Amino acid sequence: MSKVIYVVGHKNPDTDSICSAIAYANLKNLISDNEYLPKKAGHINDETAYVLNKFKVKAPSTLANVRLQVKDIDIHDITGVSPRVSIREAWQQMKQENVKALPVLEGEELVGIISTGDIARSYMDVYENSSLADAGTQYKTIAQTLDGEVLTGNPHGKFMAGKVAIGTSDTERIAEFVEKDDLVIVGNREDAQRCAVEEDVSCMVVCGNAQVSEEVRALAEEKCIVIIRTAFDSFNAVRLINQSIPVKQFMSKGPFVSFRMNEYVDDIKEVMASKKFRDFPILDKSGRFKGFISRRRFMNSRKKKVILVDHNEKSQAIEGIGEAEILEIIDHHRLASIETMNPVYFRNQPVGCTATIVSQMYDEHGIVPDQTTAGLLCAAIISDTLLFRSPTCTPVDELTAKRLAGLAGIDMAEMAKAMFKAGSALNDKSPEEIVTLDFKQFTVDKTTFGIGQCSSMSSEELADIRQKVEPIMEKVLEKKKLSLLYLMLTNIVEETSLVICAGKGAKELLIASFELAEDAEDVILKGVVSRKKQVTPAVIEALQQ
């Protein structure tokens, strides 16, 4: 089976992050034998939700983190046995499946584990000829173990009392040591068979496929005696009969060192290393048995495989990215802090949108995006370039978007208006949600700062947003453990951003970066609409200096 590879964007995903992940996963599925799944690393915003709904595309499911979990390891899915099956049947299944242990299940609940060691112990520890009765062994199980057939009596009954005796001597000796409720093993002598029945045994095993007369059968039926006929001779019948004892008699009953499917590998390493068990049972969240993990499978476990789109900054990446195997990075931002163990395919181009790069990759493989994919890619470019108003926009972005709009059959101006309106509808959002809705975090040396952005075509709406968020900026700063926090309120029509600042020296740093008047009451950046190309580089440069 192919290995699942996740295609995922950054935290606080925007339209480019989501649409590029969907489109690139689709391309990879068309050109590769592996299975590529688009994922999101956080809650999608209203603009993105509008785009997905417009093109009738289901939002990718959330990938909370990429830490390796038990469910990611090669779990040995093994067929369990009932606690009522015989030791012999369990042993045969072990040989057939080439395993050293079997789960003992009641339904899907793990009630025990039977191992080769337990079976060996069953032979070594059976000293008494009452062991078969002590285990409450069913007659049908005895018959199955002896490859025999039940001639009379209730096969579902249990041998509950008495001992196992061998009736191969003369009838006087048989009458002396065979007692009521015993199980007696006899041969083809009718006098021995009759004697055993007259002593009111509970079960008689007839060896060598010997005949049992109608008279003896009738007498056995009258006394509810079970007669089992087997092809084995007396020696082998005696040797095999204790193998009919049910596994519940010798299985390990726990408590077991087990793990859940959703547990993280790092969290169970020490437990696994401290135990000498060969196999560890795995349970799902409802406690149902799912299989075994051996030490070997655990050591050979592979990391989750991911492709990152629209970011290469560790602070923006999904949780646990350091434990994942990054295969590719497709991005249009500055080079940052993502580290990989092995060389990867890294495609970074100075364009306005990751979707532009993904569209180029479709062209390079000679694949024309379908109408839905073209629509998603076009919407991503419209979003990231603010319909070509952003300074990050390049002629390549604009040409690509126009071609995609033709394939998707959409009017870009109308699409942009509807998208931006959906994205700026923040009435149902809390002030904190507004600040972090479209938010990215960066680290320069020991300083961590965050920049959020709200874009709208309405000055009045931006003024309302400002009134809501200014009182809680310091709270968000502390909650996210940042040194500096900025929120860009971008007027798309006027191509201007009002920046709200929080943190010691945050406002002064921005004023100095853009050479504004030191006594400016508000930080108003004319001609500034791009967080990526205009504000973030300015803050980083100021911090470095």
pLDDT in tens, 412-437: 999 999 998 888 777 778 999 889 88
For residue 269, is pLDDT > 80?
A: no
Where residue 495 falls (left for φ over 0; alpha for ψ -120 to 50; beta otherwise) is left
Neighbours of 505 (CB within 10 A): 12
CATH architecture of 431-544: Roll (3.10)
Over the stretch 159-190, which tens digit does the pLDDT of each residue have?
Answer: 998 899 998 788 888 888 899 999 999 999 99
Give me 364's structure tokens: 């390079």
For residue 127, is pLDDT > 60?
A: no
Beta bridge partners of 294: 279
* CATH fold group of domain 127-244: 3.40.1390
Which has more pLDDT, 530 or 362? 362
Where residue 490 falls (left for φ over 0; alpha for ψ -120 to 50; beta otherwise) is beta
For residue 107, is pLDDT > 60?
A: yes
| Long-range pairs for 117-121: beta carbons < 8 A, 24 or more residues apart | 118/247, 118/250, 118/251, 118/252, 119/87, 119/90, 119/91, 119/94, 119/250, 121/250
Return the pLDDT at 279: 81
Over the stretch 288-317, which tens digit does the pLDDT of each residue have?
Answer: 899 888 777 676 667 889 999 999 988 889
Q: Could you give the CA distance from residue 468 to residue 156 in angstroms, rounded to a whole number?
A: 76
For residue 364, is pLDDT > 70?
A: yes
Amino acid in position 373:
T
Residue with the two structure tokens 């320069």: 444
Amino acid in position 511:
I
Residues ≥6 apart with Cβ < 8 Å to 475: 432
Which has more pLDDT, 210 or 293? 210
DSSP 252: B
Give me 532's structure tokens: 């990526």
Give me 457's structure tokens: 């075509």
Q: In the chain, which residues fall in CATH 3.10.310.20?
A: 431-544
Q: Which helix (H) or strand (E) segment is 175 a member of?
A: helix 171-177
Strand residue runs (E) in 122-229: 137-138, 149-152, 158-159, 164-166, 183-186, 203-206, 226-229
Q: Could you give the CA distance from residue 388 to residue 382 in angstroms, rounded to a whole number?
A: 7
- The average confidence (pLDDT) of the chain is 90
pTM over 0.75: no
Neighbours of 272 (CB within 10 A): 16
Q: Could you give the CA distance from residue 333 to residue 312 in angstroms, rounded to a whole number?
A: 8
Return the pLDDT at 1: 36
What average pLDDT does the segment 350-369 reach? 97
Confidence of residue 245 (pLDDT cuts 50, 70, 90): confident
**Percent residues over pLDDT 90 in the chain:** 58
Contact 175, 200 (CB under 8 A): no
What average pLDDT does the segment 219-238 reach? 94
3-state secondary structure of 261: coil
CATH architecture of 4-68+304-423: Alpha-Beta Complex (3.90)
What average pLDDT does the segment 517-543 reach? 91
DSSP 50: H
Give me 128's structure tokens: 């008494």
Return the pLDDT at 180: 93
Return the pLDDT at 532: 86
The full 3-state SS of 69-117, as one line of letters, equals EHHHCCCECCCCECCCCEHHHHHHHHHHHCCCEEEEEECCEEEEEEEHH
Count how many Cα atoms sit within 13 Å of the Cα of residue 305 in the half-sphere of its side chain.
15
Q: In the chain, which residues fall in CATH 3.40.1390.20?
A: 127-244
Alpha helices in 135-262 (DSSP H): 139-145, 171-177, 190-198, 214-222, 234-241
For residue 516, is pLDDT > 50?
A: yes
Contact 132, 241 (CB under 8 A): yes
